[in-house]
Chains A and B, each alone.
Chain A
Amino acid sequence: MLLRHTPTEIKERKALTVNPAKTCQPIGAMYASLGIHGCLPHSHGSQGCYAYHRSALTRHFKEPVVAATSAFTEGASVFGGQANLLQSIDNIFTVYNPDVIAVHTTCLSETIGDDIPQIVAKARADGKAPAGKYIIHANTPSYVGSHVTGYSNMVKAMVDYFATSTGAKTKAVNLIPGFVEPSDMAEIQRIAEVMGVPYIMFPDTSKVLNGPLTGKYKMFPEGGTTIEDLHMTGDSKGTIALGRTGAMAAARALDSKCKVPCEILDLPIGLQGTDAFVDKLRLMAGVNVPDVLNLERGQLVDCISDWHQYLYGKRVGVVGDPDQVLALTKFLVSLDMKPVHIVSGSPAGKKYVKALEEVVADIGEEVNIKVPGDMLLFHQWIKNDPVDLIIGNTYCKYIAKDEDIPMVRHGFPIYDRMGHSYFSTMGYRGAMRLMEQILGVLMDRQDRDATDITMELVM
């Protein structure tokens, strides 16, 4: 009864977040930066934040996560962080020699108002940034938005700094994923590959945060979008952004900067989500959908029909990042399940909430939605009106245990299970995996609760 302190009575809380369902911008920026090949993320602020961001990512991915810090002292906090950043840039290129430094700010450097581009220009003028090396930046104050905002800001910075148009269009399609797992990025690429669509994906954390054991520690692993590719995004035929809160800003920026038209889709979670993605890709690239994808799709439909009886009517509590929650909720509704409590910690705007409301409008039950909300509220809702299943990050396990409800881990962070960085939940195959996880916990529960009389061998 770890959450024994959760009261059932729900009061409006204005001044207070209890058990947050989000975290701060810089960690999102750090994650996005790791998706550029040869990039060292740099946190401009005191070293505590950055230590936490690195630890949190390390815990989630079980992979080395490196980044540097300006290591603010009291002096820097009063007089500004220019001297620190200049020294950082010098030290980083001398010691670690990355291709790119991706600077993000923290609450502290934002509040004192450091002007990063100006400091970087000074570093260039002082000869502290060698030719052929890049320094990009994103503003990521955490008192605005959340980790998703930070991710979005850094991905947009990639466009602002790197995208160029030579005037000659290529056949490539830009793919911009939201804040998703390395496995998801790999799955999105696989789909583009089997369709024969030339693409540039950015950022790309696959093989960076799910790399092999090689016997060596590599500060800059194999994966990541190359600078050359980032430059070329401006010449692509079009852009598909997956997720409004995580990927839209970059796609829009690319459109206005280089006239690359963009389409904004939901994350390709579930049958319809994947259909939408595949269809957009087909149209944009002018290709046919290959048999292998049709096969996967058919298999997914088959699975749904086989197992629908066990999913139908099940009530679900969903908590997570906005893009994930929206796409996931659509999938659940399409499986005939009833998402009745929905919380996203990150602010996402009125339009978002409306979109979510539309998805659940016809499930035949009152639905609680709070964006932004926290895990305390989520727990209170579940206490007052229990569900059959919880889907959310690792922190949900306290609720799941206390209320004795089956749970599927999804989103960020996941500190206590493996798989998320290797097995995608996107695309048709990913949808099958999600279903497998959901069915697994529901049926384990059924078996656990079965009496000798109701125990079934075949399900």
Chain B
Amino acid sequence: MPSIPILKSREAQIHTKGEKPFDMTCGKHSVAGSVSQRACVFCGSRVVLYPIADALHLIHGPIGCAAYTWDIRGALSSGPQLHRLSFSTDLRERDVIFGGEKKLEAALDELIDQYKPKAAFVYSTCIVGIIGDDVAAVCSKMQAKKGIPVLPVHSEGFKGTKKDGYKAACDALFKLVGKGSTEDVSPISINILGEFNIGGEAWLIKEYYERMGVQVVSVMTGDGRVDEIGKSHGAALNVVQCSGALTFLAEMMKEEYDTPYIRVSYIGIDDMAKSLYDVAARFPDNPEIMERTRKIVREEVEAILPELNGIRKDLEGKKAAIYVGGAFKAFSLIKALNYLGMKVVLVGSQTGNKEDYKTLQEMCDDGTIILDDANPLELSKYIIEKDADLFIGGVKERPIAFKMGIGFCDHNHERKIPLAGFRGMLAFAREVHTSVTSPVWQFCPARLGNKEE
């Protein structure tokens, strides 16, 4: 494999564990001219708020931003489907010159009358930031006129990274919190934060907690409803999933409502079990909760173990590369893959911070490549060098893996099956197994080449 030039400015974002002292540079804006796999602030806000199904999501800007986010996320709703439509002010040249406020107002007027949503989110995209529309003013005017929360989401793409989009989304969500009555909220209750119900995952997770005897007041934002968010401040605990898109909100709720929070992950057996036990431990006055939790974990694990063990036999010793959005997810994936007998040879993220990378390198074996904000050339180089059998990533990574003739598992928006929870672990194992052991690889040049060696 001929080596590829690595940009000087990116050198500090790529490490091989065990080679030199570990000090990852991260959280940087992508370098101009890079083929980064990262998205923008708007993308961050949109993915967080997307699953709130009884709200209106209006994208204020030219058409593209709305077109590309039209129902791409697969966050399921058990009721309304309003979130799956695409609403845009479709700014034209005239609006860019004269301003888009009038158009925005008219659009909101029409849409709120038509669809009677519980709340409206108005996303401002890059161009709106530049032409200087006062979106907040239009929103508060419409809020007064229509009597529903109309919330500006300041998500101009250029104003930072995807993470800043999470923050903008949390700011908007926070305005909904505390609006409802907490009368029917039990003292033994939680909110689930940062679970977007892709493939129905939120339903799985919620069911575990409810079986434990814990009330789930709101899932933010999986299968989300405005009213549930409104009373979420009544919950005893916030349970924040993964990389912390919603950590900002948990912080704000802690500050304002004194709601404590814990961070958990629902990926893999160990982390899933721990996230149930951690919640149970929060209610020590009700020991029956812990008892029930143990029973649930036992039952759920027993149910999947025989098949998992079978799969493990085939996967033992295979190598995996991980490149995902959040670093927290990477931690769980490493554990889940280890459980399947696989070895992680490359791991990277789009949004990890220093802490995250430290944890990552502690979890990995020597020789593992750890990288931040990678490009396809780097990814393909290391995947071949490390002879990976599986690549875990998102939309843009899938065809790259396939071109190299190795298995792939989507751990982003494109998947259709739940990968969280115990049953999710089984689904994950099946998907990895299916892809890695696919008969197609015997016809593939990379594999043929390897055999000849």
A contact residues vs B (CB 8 Å cutoff): 1-5, 7, 11, 13-20, 22-27, 40, 42, 45-49, 51-56, 58-59, 61-74, 76-77, 83-85, 87-92, 94-96, 106-108, 111-112, 141-144, 146, 211, 213-219, 395
Sorting the interface of chain B by its residue count into under 10, 10 to 19, 20 to 34 or 35 or more gives 35 or more
B423-444 near A? 1/0 per residue, CB < 8 Å: 0000000000000000000001
- B300 lies within 8 A of chain A by Cβ: no
With a cutoff of 8 Å between Cβ atoms, the chain B residues found around residue A90 in the complex are: 33
* A234 CB, nearest partner CB in chain B, Å: 31
With a cutoff of 8 Å between Cβ atoms, the chain B residues found around residue A94 in the complex are: 5, 7
Question: How far apart are the CA atoms of A144 and B4 in the complex, in Å?
Answer: 39
Jot down 20 A-B pairs with beta carbons below 8 A, ordered by A. A5-B81, A5-B115, A40-B35, A48-B42, A48-B126, A48-B158, A51-B37, A52-B64, A54-B396, A77-B158, A85-B32, A87-B31, A87-B33, A107-B62, A108-B158, A142-B63, A142-B64, A143-B62, A215-B446, A217-B400
8 additional A-B pairs beyond A20-B70, A215-B449, beta carbons within 8 Å, are: A5-B82, A55-B68, A63-B399, A64-B399, A64-B400, A71-B36, A94-B5, A146-B63
Contact A20 B5 (CB under 8 A): no
> Most chain-B Cβ atoms within 10 A of its Cβ — which of A45, A46, A77, A213?
A46
Contact B126 A144 (CB under 8 A): no
- B308 lies within 8 A of chain A by Cβ: no
Question: How far apart are the CA atoms of A111 and B100 in the complex, in Å?
Answer: 14
Contact A219 B399 (CB under 8 A): no
Q: A15-B103, A20-B63 are in contact. Are A68 and B34 (CB under 8 A)?
A: yes
- B90 lies within 8 A of chain A by Cβ: yes
Contact A48 B395 (CB under 8 A): no
Contact A70 B64 (CB under 8 A): no
Contact B39 A48 (CB under 8 A): yes
Contact A13 B32 (CB under 8 A): no
For A48, the closest partner residue in chain B by CB is B40
With a cutoff of 8 Å between Cβ atoms, the chain A residues found around residue B36 in the complex are: 47, 51, 69, 71
Question: How far apart are the CA atoms of A54 and B176 in the complex, in Å?
Answer: 34
> Most chain-B Cβ atoms within 10 A of its Cβ — which of A20, A26, A94?
A20
* B288 CB, nearest partner CB in chain A, Å: 42
With a cutoff of 8 Å between Cβ atoms, the chain A residues found around residue B29 in the complex are: 71, 73
Question: How far apart are the CA atoms of A95 and B404 in the complex, in Å?
Answer: 21
- B18 lies within 8 A of chain A by Cβ: no
Contact A108 B126 (CB under 8 A): yes
With a cutoff of 8 Å between Cβ atoms, the chain A residues found around residue B84 in the complex are: 2
Contact A213 B405 (CB under 8 A): yes
**Surface stretch bound by A, among B105-113, B203-211, B276-284:** B105-113
With a cutoff of 8 Å between Cβ atoms, the chain B residues found around residue A96 in the complex are: 35, 377
With a cutoff of 8 Å between Cβ atoms, the chain A residues found around residue B51 in the complex are: none
B29-53 near A? 1/0 per residue, CB < 8 Å: 1111111111111110000000000
With a cutoff of 8 Å between Cβ atoms, the chain B residues found around residue A16 in the complex are: 87-90, 106-107, 110-111
Selected contact of A91 from candidates B34, B87, B114, B447, CB within 8 Å: B34
With a cutoff of 8 Å between Cβ atoms, the chain B residues found around residue A2 in the complex are: 81, 84
Q: A85-B32, A95-B6 are in contact. Are A20 and B126 (CB under 8 A)?
A: no
Q: A16-B111, A48-B42, A62-B399 are in contact. Are A217 and B380 (CB under 8 A)?
A: yes
Question: How far apart are the CA atoms of A216 and B36 in the complex, in Å?
Answer: 20
Contact B127 A76 (CB under 8 A): no
Question: How far apart are the CA atoms of A11 and B104 in the complex, in Å?
Answer: 17
Q: Which 10 A-B pairs have the closest CB atoms?
A: A48-B40, A24-B64, A215-B446, A91-B33, A88-B33, A215-B445, A52-B68, A48-B157, A217-B380, A15-B106
* A85 CB, nearest partner CB in chain B, Å: 7
With a cutoff of 8 Å between Cβ atoms, the chain A residues found around residue B175 in the complex are: none
For A89, the closest partner residue in chain B by CB is B33
Contact A214 B158 (CB under 8 A): no
B contact residues vs A (CB 8 Å cutoff): 4-7, 29-43, 61-70, 72, 81-82, 84-93, 95-96, 102-104, 106-107, 110-111, 114-115, 126-127, 129-131, 157-160, 376-377, 380, 384, 395-396, 398-400, 402-405, 444-449
Contact B396 A91 (CB under 8 A): no
Contact B67 A23 (CB under 8 A): yes
With a cutoff of 8 Å between Cβ atoms, the chain B residues found around residue A111 in the complex are: 96, 127, 130-131
With a cutoff of 8 Å between Cβ atoms, the chain B residues found around residue A66 in the complex are: 35, 376
With a cutoff of 8 Å between Cβ atoms, the chain B residues found around residue A92 in the complex are: 33
* B402 CB, nearest partner CB in chain A, Å: 6
Question: How far apart are the CA atoms of A51 and B397 in the complex, in Å?
Answer: 12
Question: How far apart are the CA atoms of A282 and B61 in the complex, in Å?
Answer: 47
Contact B396 A56 (CB under 8 A): no
With a cutoff of 8 Å between Cβ atoms, the chain B residues found around residue A215 in the complex are: 403-405, 444-449
* B301 CB, nearest partner CB in chain A, Å: 35
With a cutoff of 8 Å between Cβ atoms, the chain A residues found around residue B444 in the complex are: 213, 215
With a cutoff of 8 Å between Cβ atoms, the chain A residues found around residue B91 in the complex are: 143
With a cutoff of 8 Å between Cβ atoms, the chain B residues found around residue A25 in the complex are: 64
Question: How far apart are the CA atoms of A398 and B447 in the complex, in Å?
Answer: 40
Contact A55 B396 (CB under 8 A): yes
With a cutoff of 8 Å between Cβ atoms, the chain B residues found around residue A213 in the complex are: 402-403, 405, 444-445
Question: How far apart are the CA atoms of A7 and B85 in the complex, in Å?
Answer: 13
With a cutoff of 8 Å between Cβ atoms, the chain B residues found around residue A61 in the complex are: 399
Contact A108 B32 (CB under 8 A): no
Question: How far apart are the CA atoms of A90 and B88 in the complex, in Å?
Answer: 37
With a cutoff of 8 Å between Cβ atoms, the chain A residues found around residue B65 in the complex are: 24, 48-49, 52
With a cutoff of 8 Å between Cβ atoms, the chain A residues found around residue B81 in the complex are: 1-5
Contact A23 B403 (CB under 8 A): no
With a cutoff of 8 Å between Cβ atoms, the chain B residues found around residue A72 in the complex are: 158
Contact B86 A76 (CB under 8 A): no
With a cutoff of 8 Å between Cβ atoms, the chain A residues found around residue B159 in the complex are: 74
Contact B38 A24 (CB under 8 A): no
Question: How far apart are the CA atoms of A47 and B41 in the complex, in Å?
Answer: 9
> Most chain-B Cβ atoms within 10 A of its Cβ — which of A2, A49, A141?
A49
With a cutoff of 8 Å between Cβ atoms, the chain B residues found around residue A106 in the complex are: 126
